[in-house]
């Protein structure tokens, strides 16, 4: 929903009704992830995408019908469905798309949710998309850390289960569908709840104000990270040199990272790229980075010789073998990169592979499912 939120909010504020289809579950090689949304506006325009073009026509027609009837619908599009073939779902995947009517009457919390997202405050939205009792479908609750829920999904048992699991998704920054028994039984089946988890953007911390850092910052921003470039040298660490960064910090890298970690601004989604390849910066910084309890990725640039020297210095500093095993160095996947931009792509590829469990091998050389 995030990518279509500006247009959705504009129609909502104008008092219009909007048909919205959202991918709530995917199987096999689905083209769009859970959370991808498509709007059908009051002017019959379409905004966003749920499948990259495969089933948009079918979802468009269904959204118009849902706006007319006011009854939300969960629809599956897959290779075994004749309708899926008819609308062109050729990727071999399966999509579950939840289609609902969005207006001030059906979704009064949207304005406050949009304000939270704009301010970077974590907020989750849990919606019942499937239930044996149709009266439950469409019930919604807004969940914020340390704040009582805005409503009830039907019972205290359901509310407690969904809140706990939604907060877990929010901490990880992932949307997802949760399954329970009809009254929130964790081992049961029948009720499905989709959770939009709007967490602040994951962070990419780039240390070393060099030309490679500028390219990494641009690619990181493209991937949706909030990018910080940090260097102790004020002559190099300037906003004019790093227009792709959200912020440029002049500080000793290890001191800055320590302060950010102590302030709670480093978590399991944080990516750390050390590009200075200078021992006086690298070693104290990596001592801090490799000992963080939670971090998504720690990579360091340098030649094989630089890497070996860095490892020796870190061992002398007391860094354990278990901690050293977290270090990705030399940084990036082997793409044959030469330029800063190509190197940034190789670093980004390793980050994405690590996040989703990819092998880094060519897909053409592998068999079986594309997505694990």
**pLDDT > 70: percent of the chain:** 94
- Answer yes or no: is pLDDT of 289 > 50: yes
Per-residue pLDDT of 204-232, as tens digits, reads 999 999 999 999 999 999 998 999 999 99
Cα-based torsion angle of the residue sequence 171, 177, 182, 187 in order, rounded to the nearest 10 degrees: -70
pLDDT digits (tens, 9 = 90+) for 272-284: 999 988 899 999 9
Q: Can you list the alpha helix ranges (DSSP code H) found in 81-148?
A: 82-87, 110-119
Q: What is the DSSP letter of 144?
A: B
Predicted confidence (pLDDT) at residue 90 exceeds the cutoff of 70 = no
- The token pair at 44 is 């019959």
| Torsion sign over Cα 310, 316, 319, 325 | positive
Q: What is the pLDDT of residues 315-345, one digit of tens each?
A: 999 999 999 999 999 999 999 999 999 999 9
Distance, in Å, from the CA atom of 303 to the CA atom of 313, rounded to the nearest integer, reads 15
């Amino acid at each position: 929903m995030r990518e279509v939120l500006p247009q959705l909010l504009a129609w909502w504020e104008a008092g219009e009704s909007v048909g919205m289809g959202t991918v709530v579950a995917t199987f096999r090689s689905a083209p769009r992830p859970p959370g991808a949304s498509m709007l059908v506006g009051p002017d019959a325009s379409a905004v966003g995408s749920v499948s990259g073009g495969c089933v948009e026509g079918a979802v468009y027609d269904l959204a118009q019908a849902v706006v007319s009837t006011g009854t939300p619908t969960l629809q599956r599009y897959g290779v075994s469905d004749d309708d899926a073939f008819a609308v062109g779902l050729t990727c071999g995947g399966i999509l579950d798309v939840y289609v609902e009517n969005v207006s001030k009457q059906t979704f009064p919390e949207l304005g406050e949710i949009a304000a939270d997202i704009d301010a970077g405050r974590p907020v989750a939205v849990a919606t019942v998309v499937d239930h044996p009792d149709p009266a439950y479908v469409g019930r919604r609750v807004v969940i914020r850390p340390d704040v009582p829920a805005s409503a009830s999904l039907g019972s205290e048992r359901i509310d407690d289960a969904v809140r706990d699991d939604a907060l877990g998704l929010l901490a990880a920054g992932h949307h997802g569908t949760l399954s329970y028994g009809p009254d929130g039984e964790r081992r049961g089946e029948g009720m499905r709840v989709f959770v939009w988890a709007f967490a602040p953007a994951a962070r990419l911390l780039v240390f070393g104000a060099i030309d490679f850092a500028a390219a990494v910052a641009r690619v990181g921003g493209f991937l949706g990270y909030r990018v910080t470039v940090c260097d102790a040298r004020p002559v190099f660490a300037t906003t004019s040199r790093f227009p792709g960064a959200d912020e440029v910090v002049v500080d000793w890298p290890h001191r800055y990272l320590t302060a950010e970690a102590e302030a709670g601004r480093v978590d399991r989604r944080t990516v750390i790229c050390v590009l200075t390849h200078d021992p006086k910066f690298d070693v104290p910084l990596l001592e801090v980075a490799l000992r963080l309890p939670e971090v998504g990725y720690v990579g360091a640039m340098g030649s094989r010789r630089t890497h070996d020297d860095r490892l020796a210095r870190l061992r002398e500093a007391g860094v354990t073998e278990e901690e050293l095993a977290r270090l990705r160095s030399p940084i990036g996947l082997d793409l044959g990169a030469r330029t800063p931009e190509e190197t940034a792509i190789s670093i980004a590829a390793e980050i994405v592979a690590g996040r989703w469990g990819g092998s880094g091998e060519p897909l053409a050389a592998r068999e079986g499912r594309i997505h694990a």
